[in-house]
Amino acid sequence: MNGGDLVAEVLARQGVRFLFTLCGGHISPILVGAKARGIQVVDVRHEANAVFAADAVSRMTGIPGVAAVTAGPGVTNTITAIKNAQMAQSPLVLLGGATATILKGRGSLQDIDQMALIAPHVKFAAAVTRVRDLPRTLEKAFEIAQEGVPGPVFVECPVDLLYDEPVVREMFGAKSASDVKGPADVALQLYLRYYLAKTFAGSGRAKAGPKVHPEIPLAFPSAITRAAGLLAKARRPVIVVGSQATLGGPKETERLADALGRLGVPVYLSGMARGLMGREHDVWFRHKRTKALGEADFVLLAGVPNDFRLNYGLQISRKATLVSVNRSDVDVRKNRKPKLGAVADPCDFLCRLSREAALDGDSLRPWLDRLRTRDRERDAQIDGQAEQDVDLVNPLALCQRLEAHLADDSVLVADGGDFVATASYIMSPRAPLSWLDPGPFGTLGVGAGFALGAKLCRPSAEVWLIYGDGSAGYTIPEFDTFVRHGLPVIAVVGNDASWAQIARDQIEILDDDVGTVLARTDYHRVAEGFGAKGLQLDHPDQVESTIEQAKALAADGHPVLINAHIGKTEFRKGSISM
């Protein structure tokens, strides 16, 4: 096997089903080797979207997603997506092409110091220099990506390590003895032979090992017992569950949902944990989380740091007993010292806590009833705002109709600002691992890559990509990818001709809309240009029929984009976070 085959063999052994890429000569042997081993090679139109797709696969399956990009610009194009994965704690593997090892620093095509560029944004970065080291370096990368606090890793695979030795000899200009002329040529050829011998030494014995099993941090039994004791004293407890609790994939999230149901404590879900309890559950609450945290006497943060999303810990009452469980020792104590801090896997912690905690259900009933009343009141407020007349289509009413039409197997991908945040109040994922948003980096442009990964992982599911019109501009060319690979994603663009989340406060505070104005672009026609189906929605009477038409087209195998011209509302006034 050549180096590309060795890399592909490792991917296959680690359970990788998809390899996301944008082609380049530096990485061609990896792509060919992966295809030969039954790994689906999915080529995209921008390298960032290859990484976003790999990120989505990681989140939905519990197995690190993999992207392979060419040298230089191919690697630099991934930086935002890699940083997003780092901050979201997604375990993924990025394979980067590179110039031949012998030519580094000599001015060859696309040769830059990739390691210095990418190292600050990954858990592990390695530049391989010998063919025989490819398998063990990549296996180490898979292990590091998943252990402790998960995150992205990078393995640089120089082009001369990936091709067959005869091809590399020709690439380097190595000659036979009869073709060598003059002392200088002799010296050069001797050096090339030595270099090639070192590069390929032992490559015939190199092979992929078994699937790695990373070490997961577990809490000491005493920490579980202490947490159970603190919880038993509470009358107004709240548990907040974040993305980190869902890292184990479908089986572990099912176990987690059962554990939270047994505990019977009010639960608020964020990030990838949205949908964990299904569409309706007695202990899952959706609205007024800030008020609940301010009144709670016990708060357990499971994989959730006290960052801007919890107002740096200020949302939680100072009188509350705070328990923080996180794989990161930094995040356990970020901005707020807990009564009990456990550096451990949140899913395992909650499952074990549910077996040890003894709660008085009757004592919690008044608290549960209070929270349910607030949820009903907030839903009623949203219903009232959805009925208000606005120009074109009311975005709240549109989201309500989308919610009513979502299939039970739907996956929701969120990519945008104002419209997407509005949708998050109304549209509910039906099951665990069915909601994808960028995470704490707040990156616009995750949408098409996330939708690509989601549809590949769940080909029979309806995948809905909820776009703002600003964020749609980042990745709409990936409709070409959806069409070529037969992936019938449904996208809904909330088209208000504005970067509305920014404009809302900028205009009020600074009295200027500079830089926030867009056009009511025909995004549906753009999608049609890539071979997808485009639908325009600009009147309330069209909402029902347009959604039904989109679902029917997707069921027939067509990617669809609904260009929904929405009006402006005051629903999210004053909601910007920084």
For 3-163, CATH gives 3.40.50.970
The pLDDT assigned to 179 comes to 65
Residue 158 CA to residue 155 CA, distance in Å, equals: 10
Residue 366 CA to residue 364 CA, distance in Å, equals: 6
Residue 125 CA to residue 451 CA, distance in Å, equals: 27
The pLDDT assigned to 175 comes to 55
Is the Cβ–Cβ distance between 52 and 90 less than 8 Å? no
Q: From the CB of residue 318, how many other CB atoms can be counted at a distance below 10 Å?
A: 9
Residue 373 CA to residue 381 CA, distance in Å, equals: 12
Name the token pair of 171: 């690439």
Name the token pair of 296: 């709670």
Residue 242 CA to residue 324 CA, distance in Å, equals: 12
The pLDDT assigned to 104 comes to 85
Name the token pair of 249: 């994939």
Residues written for the chain? 578
Beta strands 463-468 and 124-127 are unpaired
Residue 451 CA to residue 434 CA, distance in Å, equals: 11
The pLDDT assigned to 358 comes to 80
Is the Cβ–Cβ distance between 554 and 412 less than 8 Å? no
DSSP, residue by residue, 522-568: -HHHHHHHTT-EEEEE-SGGGHHHHHHHHHHHHHTT--EEEEEEB--
Residue 134 CA to residue 158 CA, distance in Å, equals: 10
Burial of 572 (0-12, 13-18, 19+ CB in 10 A): middle
- Closest to 432 (Cα-Cα) out of 263, 305, 255: 255
Please give the angle made by the CA atoms of 463, 526 and 23, to the nearest 5 degrees.
Answer: 75
Residue 347 CA to residue 256 CA, distance in Å, equals: 6
The pLDDT assigned to 187 comes to 83
**Topology classification of domain 221-370:** Rossmann fold (3.40.50)
The pLDDT assigned to 174 comes to 64
Give the dihedral sign, CA 260/263/264/270: negative
For each successive 10 residues of the chain (578 residues), what is the average pLDDT? 95 97 95 98 98 98 97 97 97 96 85 94 97 97 97 97 89 65 77 87 92 94 96 96 94 94 95 92 94 96 95 94 97 96 97 90 92 95 93 96 95 95 94 95 96 98 97 97 98 96 90 95 98 97 97 98 93 64
Task: Write down the CATH superfamily of domain 387-565.
Answer: Thiamin diphosphate (ThDP)-binding fold, Pyr/PP domains (3.40.50.970)
The pLDDT assigned to 108 comes to 84
Residue 458 CA to residue 18 CA, distance in Å, equals: 13
